Structure 1
């Protein structure tokens, strides 16, 4: 099969959007030089066969970050490359010359340099966590009618506060169980009328035997592994099926992980040998899961 430089497919518009900053003239020049690098008569049936085998080894949809192209991932660096025809021919020639194989992309060779790597498309950003509901603030009750003067004198205010800290707000002295735990911490002497709603909520909590929740508290998500880092929702990033397909884990391992309720990003160090056996896995198959999980976490971009 005879091909010329013009037969080699130029990068598609999608590739133009995903590849990092590459000068168009530089990329086109390198594409034109591919036949010369391969040598005269190299575009034969053997090279075409290797090129097609590469496309089968890295089919469309194999990469969860670039599902519409033949994407090749260089694991040590985490770089992604579009296996377009020019790159597959360069790689195929190196395979025929026994200078490479089907599992190690020739990063650093023509069309396989760092500037040709695809931008990582990690999917839609995780939805923000919903804010914890806050209890409605009850309206301040009107002060009941009393026989006290409309404006208490300083001496009267001091005396009332000493006897009953709630007297300035028109409230009678409450009756508390002296054996209630946490009474001193749950009740604070109000200093201004602005503390009255909070004081009422605290009184209700003490009477019910509960402690009011801290403002803005929320349950920690199961994927929040590192408290100092932003939360990354690994389940949205890659599903269990995609994870098994990406790292060639068979159906038996997939079913075992489902029994364990495994999610990408879980802490695998807490899994015991009993858990592994109950899920129908073996120590050897579990070792493959751990290696795949470690490789995926390493391929994620730094936070």
Structure 2
């Protein structure tokens, strides 16, 4: 039995609590997601949004286990900072440079993991079951924290080449330095060129999200049949996905990544592996 299994779940006398912590946090859909699972499986427990200022993060994390919390999800702006506070950091969280899932162990230690890459790949394979990562290059737009999760998971899945473009080139260069020779950097002005021959294309920026600037990228080089996905899920069908669909691509929206990345944490905290299905999508939407 692994350390995670031994230390997941609360003492039998305690109702397990979990949370999503961020600043701000009111917009998060995670409480609806985990609340749906708790109700669906009839499990004791609660999942709540907890707004935490950056200056208070370490103090809050130290006191949460004493209040009955068995773990937490972490979102902006704390995903990098928790790595310095956690006692145990998984290899993938360390490589990505961010954590989104915490387990408060019975021995008092904080275990930090990153399940974003798992959520990303599981969403792709569920909604594009014919996707073959080794069939051609992958092109990733963006080089922030979410992009690092995507890059790590795509390379692990076996893509032969990973092309990346970011408005600030130095962040793309850092990804190449961290992830190695398969990463090829394209200047932002030439980002449209990296789509040529790519069989997997990912928007890992917030461009195209409601209230954000649109993703202005020429899509002429997109090949029909390529799998195109957007991490943005408000709206579900972004202009980027709509145009890719028009060009004959297989498109996958970003909501599934949110749903799938939540499942490992839920299982560790509440002791039940949850299902990601149409009913859950509706509950979260």
TM-score range, shorter chain: under 0.3
Question: Which structure's CA Rg is the greater one?
Answer: 1
Which is richer in strand?
A: 2
Q: Which has the higher contact order (CA 8 A, sep 6+)?
A: 2
TM-score (normalizing by structure 2): 0.21
